[in-house]
Amino acid sequence: MPGKTKRKYVGETMRIHKKLKRPLHLISEALPYEYDDKLLLSMFAELYPYEWKEIVERCNYFIAKDKHLQSVGKKIRYKSPSPKTFFFTMPVVKNILSPNFKAKHKKRFAEDIYNANYDALKAKRSVKINQKNNKVQKYKQTMQEVEPYYIDALIVAYHQKGITTEGKMEIITEMSRFICDKSIKFFYKINDAERNNQIRNKAFQHLQNSGNYVKLRKNFKGKKKSYMVEKTDYNMTPLDLIKRLDADSIQNKKRFSAFISHSYADSKIVEEVISILNTQGHSCYCDWSSDNDFLKRSLVSDYTKEVLKRRIEQSDYLFFIRTDNSMTGEKVNSPWIEMELEYSKSIGKDIYYIDLIEDGIKLPYKLLSHNLMDGKIEWGE
């Protein structure tokens, strides 16, 4: 490993060891009378899940880097251990698992004290874990956990010669809407190799906010080229999207499984439906999450209507959510939903719907049984 790279890798390893000394010390005060390596790791993963996740992802990250180096005929550089090996070779862990430490632990052990220590530590950590979980979930709230049809087209477009900073920002924004192996690998690669500061920082922030292990690469040294410091505000409008849809662009290449037709007042229900459809392998289009950088509510116009029609064309089917907000009896409450349903019929798209009113009224579409509480939407034969 080159000297500079080795110093960075070793330095980060030492910082992780130092950072985990206090947590592991607290765990050592809450251990039962008898314990072994499996129990210690289990307690660490339970009480410090994000710290354990960082170890796992970091080790796997550098293992993958070595595999790549081997695949291109180069020597491996990092020789990263497995996550478990990394954990058990930390000095503080080796000390806790040593016969001498175990003997002292048994000598001073008092069950009521150690139970109280465990309960107090678990209560304190539960608050911290919930705070972190809520922060990550809030960031990922509108992201879809599915691999979109067009992800390979996005990746190819990003690496095309002559692409502008604005073009890269558009692709970064599109990729950040999805959580899948390809999107995560893409962002790691951008964080490692992208020379434009704004784009690289955007990739770093996305990985960090998503709860993934990531280390921000420092700015490249040497003379700064204009491209490296170039910035874009990426302030888009519905007209900008129409122009892209009319051109040979990534927006023109996008394809979806379901176009979600709904009332915005049902946004929480929409998120539940999209999550369920994602588990079934369906990618979804929802205007306020899939095109939120273009379709701003302050800029609603005929261009917005045209965009929605194009997105319906790019979808396999339309999925309508019937609620008190979207319909009253047989009357559609929104001209936007009415347009989406009528346009879908006019171009021969299949229309499916779930009924959350259940007032006995049947629509001339394909009704699906569902149980959103249990995460189920039944498609039948």
* Helix or strand holding residue 54 (H, E): helix 49-71
Is 378 a known active-site residue? no
Q: What is the number of other CB atoms lying within 10 angstroms of the CB of residue 350?
A: 12
Tokens at 286, concatenated: 């929802």
Tokens 């194009």 belong to residue: 310
Exactly one of 340, 358, 378, 381 is catalytic; name it: 340
Q: Compute the distance between CA of residue 96 and CA of residue 365 in angstroms, rounded to an integer.
A: 64
| DSSP 8-state symbol, 248 | S
Vertex 88, ends 84 and 94: CA angle to 5°? 175
d(CA 270, CA 320): 10
Whether the Cβ atoms of residue 347 and residue 378 lie closer than 8 Å to each other = no
DSSP 283-319: -EE-HHHHSTTT--GGG-SHHHHHHHHHHHHTEEEEE
H-helix or E-strand spanning residue 352: strand 350-355
Q: Specify the residue for token string 């149980």.
A: 371
Give me the residue label for tokens 């959103």.
372
Strand pairing report for 376-378 and 369-371: antiparallel
Gap between the Cα atoms of 148 and 359, Å rounded = 35
* Residues acting as catalytic residues: 340
